[in-house]
Amino acid sequence: MEIKFKSISNKLYVYLYGELDEYTSRSMRNLLDNLLEQYLQSRAVVFNLANLSFMDSTGLGFLIGRYKKLKNYNIPVYIENPTLSVEKVLQLSGIYEIMPKI
Amino acid sequence: MQEKINKMSLRFTGISENEPFARSCIQAFCLPLNPTISELNDVKTAVSEAVTNCIVHAYSDEGGPVLIEAETADGRIHIKITDEGSGIEDVEKAVEPFFTTRPEDERSGMGFTVMKAFMDDVKVVSKKGEGTTVEMLKIFSSNTADDDAPETAWGQDA
């Protein structure tokens, strides 16, 4: 699993690559939080999931955890381009209520 | 036409490193049934959920044996995942959406909900202190079973 990012007009785009499960979420959690801490001036964070080939409910917990941290700084979170398989888990969970798909 | 029953069993240590391994194995075992990509992903995701439960809840990250048994016949797969861990005190509560015993660990509480949504049948048998068994069934559309075909003979010896 790999994370790439870019900031465009004060929006932070985070690109997740690979598979997000119990194994990968453990190491990614700190890595991503360290990154987010450097971008707390952002007006939004967008998780781009176009290259996330697999995610289970541990991934939901992972995304919701980041959402809660960013909420403390009033930074809205969005999801874009999930793959079909990841989309199914996201839809089922109702997560788009708190982090809309754009 | 009746297909031959195909069986496998896989025993491994319940640590998170083995999650991709378990998913790859179940995927490979399903392939002869010609599942769609979507069906294959359903099975992989459901197995990932059950194995995560073994690792995180049954063994509290300390590892322990996980057994996956699977059987395919007549365009369907029957999967049984067993651990010898802590067991579930109240199964009815555990399978409710968003229920988790570990909210502080960023757990979504959606594991059983995903299993039920992605598979055609899910059964959970557990006893406190004696481990948990999750049985799941998936029927593949590409290989609609003959109405006259017998039910999968789950539990018979190979």
Nearest by CB to A26, which of B16, B44, B114? Answer: B16
Going by pLDDT thresholds of 50, 70 and 90, the confidence category of residue B155 is very low
Mean pLDDT rounded to a whole number for chain B? 90
Nearest by CB to B48, which of A21, A65, A84? Answer: A21
Cβ–Cβ gap B113/A61 under 8 Å: no
- Which of A94, A26, A4 lies closest to B106 in space, CA to CA? A26
A62-97 pLDDT, tens digit each: 999 999 999 999 999 999 999 999 999 999 999 999
Interface list for A 28-47 with B (CB within 8 A): 29
Q: Does B111 touch chain A (CB under 8 A)?
A: yes
Cβ–Cβ gap B41/A85 under 8 Å: yes
Contact assessment for residue B56 and residue B107, using Cβ atoms and an 8 Å cutoff? yes
Q: Does A83 touch chain B (CB under 8 A)?
A: no
User: Does residue B15 sit in helix, strand or coil?
Assistant: coil
Residue by residue, DSSP assigns B93-148 as HHTSTT--S-GGGT--S-HHHHHHHHSSEEEEEEETTTEEEEEEEEE-GGGPPPTT
- Which of B79, B70, B75 lies closest to B146 in space, CA to CA? B75
The confidence score (pLDDT) of residue A97 equals 95
Residues of B in contact with A84 (CB under 8 A): 37-38, 41
Nearest by CB to A56, which of B37, B45, B109? Answer: B45
Cβ–Cβ gap A56/B49 under 8 Å: yes
CATH of domain A2-97: 3.30.750.24
Q: Does A65 touch chain B (CB under 8 A)?
A: yes
Q: Does B114 touch chain A (CB under 8 A)?
A: yes
Task: Quote the ipTM score.
Answer: 0.93
A30-74 pLDDT, tens digit each: 999 999 999 999 999 999 999 999 999 999 999 999 999 999 999
- Domain annotation for chain B: domains and CATH numbers: 6-143 (3.30.565.10)
Cβ–Cβ gap B108/A88 under 8 Å: no
